[in-house]
Structure formats: C-alpha cells, structure tokens
Amino acid sequence: MQQYDCIVIGGGAGGLTAAVYLARAGKKVCVLERDLPGGQLNIISQLENYPGFAQVTGPELAQSMTEQVKGLGAEIVTADVVRVDFSGAEKVVYTDVGEFAARGVVLATGAAAARLGIAREQELTGDGVSYCSTCDGRFYKGADVAVAGGTVKAIHDARYLSGLCNKVYVVSETALESDLATLSNVEVIENAEIVRLVGSPLSSVTVRAAAGERELAVSGVFVARGFTPFSAPFKDAVALDERGFITVDPVTMRTSAAGVYAVGDVIHKAYRQVVTAAGEGATAAHYLMKEIR
C-alpha cells in the first residue's frame, strides 16, 4: 500500500488546484486520474473567462496546471478508483493499479454532461455543439442558436443567451413551465427533440415534434439536459443527494466523512465553471490541512 499525506481523486481544475495548495504546504500528495490530467479541460476548445488569460485552450490550461503540480513535487498516477474506505483515520483508496492510503482526501471526479445521443454530436463539439452557455455563449453573439433540454438549466441558458444572440430556440422534450415567452427573441418548441445536426461547422438542426419535422437555421446548439456525477465509488462512503452528487459544507467543502472533502462538478451546486472548481479546490485544501495537521 502506497502512503501519502493527502490523496486527490480526479485531476481536473479543482483537483489540481487542491494539489497545488497541499504540495506548497509541504504535504506528500498523490493525484489519481483515470484519464488525462486536466479532466474536461481537455475537450474545451477555447476559454475566455479564466482570470489571467484573455484566450487559452482547455488543453493548454490543463498542461500548465499539470506542470505546476508536478513542479511542486506532487505525484500524478493514472489509476481507476474501484472503491474506497473512509471509515478510519487512514483513508484507503482501492484502484486498478494498487492501494493508496492517506489521512486526507479530496474528491474531484467531475460529472458528465448528458448528451443528445445523435450522429455527429461528438464531431461538432466545440464547432457548433456546446454544453456550457456561460463558457461559449459569447462566441455566438448576434447569431441564431438552439438550447436543447427541458431542465431548469435550459431555462437559465436561454435567458443568458437571449442577451447575446439574435434568436434563441428552446427545444424541450416536455412541456416547459417558464416565463421565457416574455423574451421577444426566444421561441420555445415543446414536446420536441433535435434529431439531426447539419453542416461543418453547424449550420442547421432538424427538430422532430408530433406535427412533423422542422429545420432551424442555427450556428450553435447548447445541450442542457443535466449532468451525471462520477460518484459511484463513493456512494457508501460519503453522503450523496438524490441525483448522486456529493453533498458538502458550502463554506469548507467538507463531506459527511471526516478528513474527506469534495470539489468541482461532482458536488451538489448551481454553477459549474473552471474558475469555481479551482476556488473550491483551494478552499478544500485549506480546511483539509487544518483538520489533519
């Protein structure tokens, strides 16, 4: 069993920031990441809302964060977490490459955005398909766009985009209760779904409803169908909400388990941004160090 002071599970912006603060405080830190360090940063084509960078690609920011973490002496290990035991003073993490133990743990495994599940969706991600209106909305200023989903997030996205875009279509799988009808440039299409993406870059979408199919000339689709957290290995170790997100103290980021904190998209929260995940990582590291010192 490999022994550390602190283990960070997940190498996205929140996890890497936590590792920076912990390593700078002289802790022996291991970051367990099942894929590329940086997490979902690696699929973001461009960022304009991360402080200090007028423009930066997600992979560039991920590489910079990774190099900083390694430069401070933290280890990054490629590993898939199978299960955990947080019941004792020593927290044990079981992975496909062995067992790891530490007095403190930060959970930063993220969440996956629910997809449309149609052809060419992955191909057009970053080239007409987005899962974050506040990240990418500015790139569609003055354009016609569609929001896909019947969630609260879809309503929020439509409101936000209505201030930037010429026209916003909201394509909802169900009847949508909202006040979007008061916005002159928003059109709600209920009991419908997007079934086809046309063009490279995106130039239009096909919408299917009970009355038949309709073509919408749009240059962007914002998918707002919710998120699925990567929290399965922790379901018996920390408290989760009804959707599987980890519940934390909003001040300290502490979970229901002593010595265990959680940050980023895996936690229950309203706003999911790279910069907020980084802030949560710094907060979690601060309070974790106070708990285990």
Q: What is the pLDDT of residues 103-149, one digit of tens each?
A: 999 999 999 989 999 999 999 998 999 999 988 999 999 999 999 99
Give tens-digit pLDDT for 153-183: 899 999 999 999 999 999 999 998 888 989 9
**291 sits in which H/E element:** helix 274-292
Give tens-digit pLDDT for 173-231: 999 888 898 999 999 999 999 999 999 999 999 999 988 999 999 999 999 998 899 99
Q: What is the dihedral of CA 81, 83, 86, 87, to 10 degrees?
A: -170
pLDDT the model gives residue 234: 98
Q: What percent of the chain has pLDDT over 90?
A: 83
pLDDT band at 276 (very low <50, low <70, confident <90, very high): very high
Give tens-digit pLDDT for 73-104: 999 999 999 999 999 999 999 999 999 999 99
Residue 273 sits at the vertex; the CA angle it makes with 131 and 159, to the nearest 5 degrees, is 60
Q: What is the dihedral of CA 186, 191, 197, 203, to 10 degrees?
A: -20
Q: Are 96 and 82 in contact (CB under 8 A)?
A: yes
Show Cβ contacts of residue 48 under 8 Å, excluding neighbours closer than 6 positions.
54, 55, 138
pTM of the model as a whole? 0.84
Q: What totals of helices (H) and strands (E) does the chain contain, helices first?
A: 6, 19
Q: Which two tokens stand for residue 243?
A: 């959707």
